Structure 1
Amino acid sequence: MLKTTTRKYEEIFVTHLSNGSEVSLPVHTITGERSGPVLGLSAVVHGDEIIGSEILRRVYDRLDEAELAGSVKIMPVANPLAFESMTRNTPLDMNNMNRIFPGSAGGWVTEQISHKIATEFLDTIDAYIDIHSGGAQPVVDYVYIQNDEELSRAFNFPVLYRPKTLYEGTTVTYTVEKDIPSVTVEVGGGPNFEKDIERGVEGIFNCMRKLNMLDGEVTPPPEQKVMTEIQIIRPKQGGLMIPEYDYSAVGTVIEGNQVLSRTYNPRTFEEVEVIKAPFEKNLVILMRGSFQKVNPGDYGFMLGNMDTRELD
């Protein structure tokens, strides 16, 4: 006998704000007609990384329960307080939620949110994909290799990153510790191009085929570069930044120590900083590709060293 096909929406209650309004976490559950694993999908762990919410909305709209084996749990807004303020960190306590998992039921509000995500969402799934982006300004493009390389490769992005150590306190360090196959995706940001949204949707569907949750052949990946060394460049000086390259440079290689951007003081017009590429062969992974304001310490660029990439 076939399982009952369902779509269910619920909200996981976390707490009340001082004004009396609730803080809750939205979860859509789609249950297929055949048995299979439970896949968790989340986005907006950082509040300024909104592209993931649209990617998950399109997955929700296009997924056919009649073709689905198992179930999919979708959390499109994992940090509603940071989402409201369009900030990376939660404005009430300024914590970065993706550094404090599994949180605490009696901690800061960000810890309370992450505790609920860990215990009532992540603890209920068999595989996991977490969608991140460059944020409100930079654009980024790569997939982490965590504890399931084939699943990470199945997202079919051209650049993968095998870090020597994982960030502590992320959603994925929590799921990896529980042996849940996990993928962290970094896509889009800034303009949030349509092509990046669609690549995210197709990546999820291809991973679902890889997990045997959907029928059909797994689309083979394009030629993929596995990076082992990525340098994050943060501006030391704030001001108005003029980049030397636009967003089309993401995924390309810049030869030599070329100038990436120039920053000037908007009051005095003085040039206060010139940022140059650090390697001989620089794979552009994250960048600011339009004229914009920067503060010291912002994410400016992420460049991969092509000379230390893994070779097939």
Structure 2
Amino acid sequence: MSTHARQFEQVVVTHLSNGAPLCFPLHTIQGAKPGPVLGVSAAVHGDEIIGTEIIRRLYTQLDENELSGTLKLVPVANPLAFESLTRNTPVDMNNLNRLFPGDADGWVSEQLADALVRHFLTKIDVYVDLHSGGAVPIVDYVYIQNDESLSRAFNSPVLYRPAHPYEGTTATVVAERGIPSVTVEIGGGPNYEKHIERGVQGLLNMMRHLEMLPGAVVPAPEQTVVTEIASIRPHQGGLLVPHFGFDAVGCVLEGQQPLATIYNPQTFEELEVIRAPFAHNLVILMRGEVGKVSPGDYGFMIGNLDTAEAK
């Protein structure tokens, strides 16, 4: 592969109290033929590192001589949160993906959001943002936002059409500008190889869909579109013992059966039983290993199959 069509820059946002610059990385791959500018980002939440590896593999596999258009990659959108493996920025404890379009005069997270908008999000024609379940849970679905065919082209078996999208996200910024946008939620926890590879293949298929790469678009598998997802957070902290392993993601559970039990790690007292909320439950995000849990942590996300769109 030639390298003259590849550029890398560290976009300086500000300087930290220790004098070190706060930057975010930006790769640009210029294709040999004209086409759209696709932006792909990861680690807006610093504990969602699987997207960084998906982008790294995409970068190494692409041949710009076959690429029509331009690819802009931000593999670590929030370097401070990535360093601490936390969802929020540790310096100001803000959730970066609720602060867009940011504020050059605001918190450091707001300054970072502002820089990402000015140097990345307003320089692209199509956008994909990679997320995951974080450091412990695993998740698997894709949002339908403003380009359903592009969302479907990632070939996730589950899609989510929210009634009210989150405000202040990267997707909010581009959607307001009429830019096709897809938010992908895949993997997390142990960062399994199968999720990494699915992520790479999903992006490549989206690029074929956009006619940025040659070859036929791989047809989507049977896909379920949910419109209702219950986010279940434990009321009690303690030792969480799941009733199912990570392989339950994507499975259907019938009835309000137990998903996990939380015990007091010192007294062994049973503190809480987390149950499936619907008659027909599609497991979308879950904790599949024994571990510590705090009150209010992400526990499970369950789709209601009874309100899902007809196939």
TM-score, normalised via structure 2 length: 0.99
**Equivalent position of 2:187 in the other structure:** 188
- In 2, Cα distance between the equivalents of 1:21 and 1:248? 42
Q: Describe the SS at the equivalent of 1:257.
A: coil
- What are structure 2's unaligned runs of at least 5 residues? none
Instruction: Give the match's secondary structure for 2:208.
Output: helix
> What pairs up with 1:1-312 in 2 under 5 angstroms?
6-312=5-311
Query: 2:231 and 2:163 mapped to 1: Cα distance?
Result: 15
Tell me the alpha carbon deviations over residues 20-77 of structure 1, each in whole angstroms, 9 at most, x when there is no partner. 0010010110001000000000000000000000000000000000100001000000
**Secondary structure in 1 aligned to 2:122?**
helix
**Superposed displacement of residue 119, structure 1:** 1.0
Shift of 1:5: 5.3
Counterparts of 2:173 and 2:160, CA distance in 1: 19
Q: CA deviation at 1:191?
A: 0.5
Residue 188 of structure 1: how far off its partner (Å): 0.4
d(CA) in 2 for partners of 1:269 and 1:105?
Answer: 50
Measured at CA, do residues 5 and 211 of structure 1 come closer, stay the same or move farther in structure 2, by a change above 3 Å?
farther
Q: Deviations over 1:206-260 (max 9, x none)?
A: 0001111011111100000000000000000000000000000000000111100
**Equivalent residue of 1:267, what SS?**
coil
Q: Tell me if structure 2 keeps the 8 A contact 1:43–1:52.
A: yes
Which secondary structure state, in structure 2, belongs to the residue aligned with residue 111 of structure 1?
A: helix
Distance (Å, rounded) in 1 between the aligned partners of 2:4 and 2:38: 16
**Residue identity opposite 1:111 in structure 2:** E
- Which AA in structure 1 matches 2:108? V
Specify the code of the residue in structure 1 equivalent to 2:246.
Y
Are 1:263 and 1:273, in contact at CA under 8 Å, matched by a contact in 2? Answer: yes
**In structure 1, how many angstroms separate the alpha carbons of the residues matched to 2:117 and 2:19?**
24
Following the alignment from structure 1 to structure 2, what is the Cα–Cα distance between the partners of residues 245 and 269? 20
Percent identical:
65
CA distance in 2, matches of 1:220, 1:244: 34
Q: Indicate if the aligned counterparts of 1:5 and 1:65 stay in contact, CA closer than 8 A.
A: no
Task: Write the distance in 1 (CA, Å) between the matches of 2:40 and 2:24.
Answer: 13
How many residues get paired? 309
Counterpart amino acid of 1:274? V
SS, match of residue 65 in structure 1: coil
Q: Considering only aligned residues, what root-mean-square deviation do their CA atoms show, in Å?
A: 0.8
Alignment check: 8 A CA contact 1:5 1:33 kept: no
Q: Structure 1: give runs of 5+ residues left out of the alignment.
A: none
User: 3-state DSSP class of the match of 1:70?
Assistant: strand
Q: Kindly state the Cα deviation for residue 268 of structure 1 after the two structures are TM-superposed.
A: 1.1
AA matched with 1:29? T
Please identify runs of 4+ aligned residues in structure 1 that moved more than 6 A.
none
SS state of the match for residue 65, structure 2?
A: helix
